[in-house]
Structure 1
Amino acid sequence: MHRLSFQVTAALLMGLTLTACSKPSEVAVGPRDQSVPMSSMAGFDPARFSGRWYEVEAYVPAGASCVMGAVTFSPQKSGDMIVTEGPCADGAPRRGVAMRTGPGRFTFEGDALWVLWVDQSYDAAVIATPTGKAHVLSRALTIPADKRRAARDILTWNGFDISGLTSARRK
């Protein structure tokens, strides 16, 4: 009995020590409750996700120099993706490599980028960062009401306050 209790106590102390030594969590920049666990899409298919997407809703951080508008994903054999987004304030698109870190998870320009949801037909999606940036994407310039509701439900499930979403304005 004492041996079991010692093992449990030792395990708890080790866990607390590891937690104390772990790097601090990323700083929140958006309307996301950091206490809510966020999950990426385990069955994410990069080949089906590839191509052009339009941002239909997003959290636009104050002072953002690049409002996405549209983004193109091009999967690589390595599992990474080439991302071209824009337009940015300077009129030039941004392009870079999103390095795969797990199922539906990438690192792009120093930030974690997670695919939270894609509908069955891969026509609507939600991508976000654990720090609070999020984008509702569609293959078309608009998104059907049922898919918009589903995207918002996914954001809520992952700790986002959907009242802060901004709809993309198209001319």
Structure 2
Amino acid sequence: MHRLKLIPLFLVLAACLQRTPEPTDLNFRDLGTPIYSNAVMKPDALEGDWTQVAAFTAQPGGCKPGKVRFGAPQGGAVPVRADLCLSGKRQGYDGRAALPAPGRLILEGAGTTALAAPWWVIWADVDMRTLVIGTPSGAMGFILNRGGPLPSDRLKAAREILEWNGYDLERLQVF
């Protein structure tokens, strides 16, 4: 009789053991594919307000598009204020980004959030109206635009660049 009472307990324990753990480190790109940053981009070209128009996500939805404001470069850094939707979660930052190489930024003191991954500008259109930001780790990727809605030709170019850098376009959410 006591054995019959233990069966439901064992079934519950077995069900818990079979659950797949939630991923802790998201990766949106094939790490075997090289990633390239824009080596000719000048930091002062970033200055101004940018609207997030797309981001990679594990599941669509979650939050509305965000914004990034880059200030004027100061030595080897640039002020950054970011409020982004990354993988369906709102993430913010207000501080400085180090500029270790052209087209690369590292947000100082960003902690362990996705924002702490080095930001690589993997593409910018000629007139600096659209930026594509990626990370070597594939932890995040997003598209920024300024001056109104993102035209379809620049979205197409941004998608091609992301794909060329190994990103899984199936997981790109356009806002």
Which residue is equivalent to 2:97? 98
With the length of structure 1 as denominator, give the TM-score of the two structures: 0.72
Q: Report the 3-state secondary structure (helix = DSSP H, G, I; strand = E; otherwise coil) of the residue aligned with 1:149.
A: helix
Distance 1:107 1:67 in 2: 24
Which residue is equivalent to 1:86? 83
With the length of structure 2 as denominator, give the TM-score of the two structures: 0.71
Unaligned runs of 5+ in 1: 1-26
Deviations 1:117-153 (A, max 9, x none): 1100100110111122111111035200000000001
Deviations 1:64-90 (A, max 9, x none): x987611101132313111101168xx
Distance 1:47 1:139 in 2: 15
- Between the two proteins, the alignment pairs up a number of residues equal to 141
Q: Report the 3-state secondary structure (helix = DSSP H, G, I; strand = E; otherwise coil) of the residue aligned with 1:95.
A: strand
In the alignment, structure 1 residue 55 sits paired with structure 2 residue 52: yes
Structure index of larger Rg: 2
Classify 1:101/1:28 alpha carbon distance in 2 versus 1 (closer, same or farther; 3 Å). Answer: farther
Distance 1:61 1:44 in 2: 30
Classify 1:98/1:33 alpha carbon distance in 2 versus 1 (closer, same or farther; 3 Å). Answer: same
- Kindly provide the amino acid, as one letter, of the partner of residue 33 in structure 1: D
Which residue is equivalent to 2:164? 157
Distance 2:129 2:55 in 1: 17
The answer on whether the counterparts of 1:81 and 1:99 sit within 8 Å (CA) in structure 2 is yes
The runs of 4+ residues in structure 1 deviating greater than 4 Å are: 65-68
Classify 1:123/1:78 alpha carbon distance in 2 versus 1 (closer, same or farther; 3 Å). Answer: same
In the alignment, structure 1 residue 107 sits paired with structure 2 residue 113: no
Among candidates 28, 31, 43, match of residue 31 of structure 1: 28
The answer on whether the counterparts of 1:28 and 1:131 sit within 8 Å (CA) in structure 2 is no
Classify 1:141/1:30 alpha carbon distance in 2 versus 1 (closer, same or farther; 3 Å). Answer: farther
Distance 1:147 1:79 in 2: 30
In the alignment, structure 1 residue 129 sits paired with structure 2 residue 109: no
Percent identity of paired positions between Structure 1 and Structure 2: 33
In the alignment, structure 1 residue 41 sits paired with structure 2 residue 38: yes
CA drift at 1:42: 0.6
Which residue is equivalent to 2:21? none
